[in-house]
Structure formats: structure tokens, C-alpha cells
Amino acid sequence: MKSVFKFLSLMLIAATVVFASCSKDDNPVDNDLFIGTYHGSVSYTGDKTITNSNGSVTVVKVGDRYDFNFSDNIPSIKDVQMSKGEQGYIGTVNGYTGLLSIDAGKLHIALKNGDNTWGADCNR
């Protein structure tokens, strides 16, 4: 009986994650929970230099905090805080200086933190 209960619990959690995924029309700035992948050009310069015109960035937003997880072993940008309704910034937020712009269809990143620089020009 415990095995059946564990199995049903896992199925319920899996179904919740699947239904929580966002459609391509969802704008992350309007949601408290968002997961979406943008595809296009990505780059990184730091301890290594990486560029890929067919890369991707997976955006995870919980509340007012964003994580940007890049393809191609590019280090992630974590814990960027933007208030609900903000579609990005020009300036410095959480130590990242530059430009960040995000909406339902496009993601633009040109950020620097210390000696590290990230870039992305992607669509969803």
C-alpha cells in the first residue's frame, strides 16, 4: 500500500511540473513562476571563451528572482532580482552590469560581472 501511495504521489508531482511549464505566449514578467527556453546566439568570456549561434538559455523565475542557465557549459547567471512587471534593466543589479531584456518572445543579455561577460540574442 505504501508503494502505491508513493507512486501516486510521484505522478501527482510530475503532472504538476508538466502543467506548470509555460506556453510560448506567457511573458515571464507577468508570472510568479516561469520556466522557458530561448534559442539563438549565446556567448561567454571569462576563464574561457565560448560562442554558439545555435545555443539556448533556459530561464527559471520564482517570485522576483531569475536564473539564466546557458547551453554549451557557459556558467549560469543566478539570482537576478527584478520586480514583477519589469522587463529587464540597464545598469547594475546583483553585481551584474549591463543590459538584460526579456519578454514572451525575446531574450537579450549583455552582462558583465568582474572579468566575466555573458551575451545572448535569443527567441522563443
Cell readout for 77 is 547567471
- In the predicted model, is pLDDT for residue 44 greater than 80? yes
- pLDDT-wise least confident of 57-66, 83-92, 95-104: 83-92
pLDDT of residue 13: 56
pLDDT for res 30: 61
Which pTM was predicted?
0.75
**Residue-range domain boundaries for the chain:** 2-123
Q: What is the pLDDT of residues 53-78, one digit of tens each?
A: 999 999 999 988 999 999 999 999 99
Residues above pLDDT 70, as percent of the chain: 72
Q: Which helix (H) or strand (E) holds 12?
A: helix 2-20
- What's the CA gap between 31 and 26, in Å, rounded? 8
Outline where DSSP puts E strands in the chain: 33-45, 49-62, 65-70, 77-81, 88-93, 96-102, 106-113, 116-123
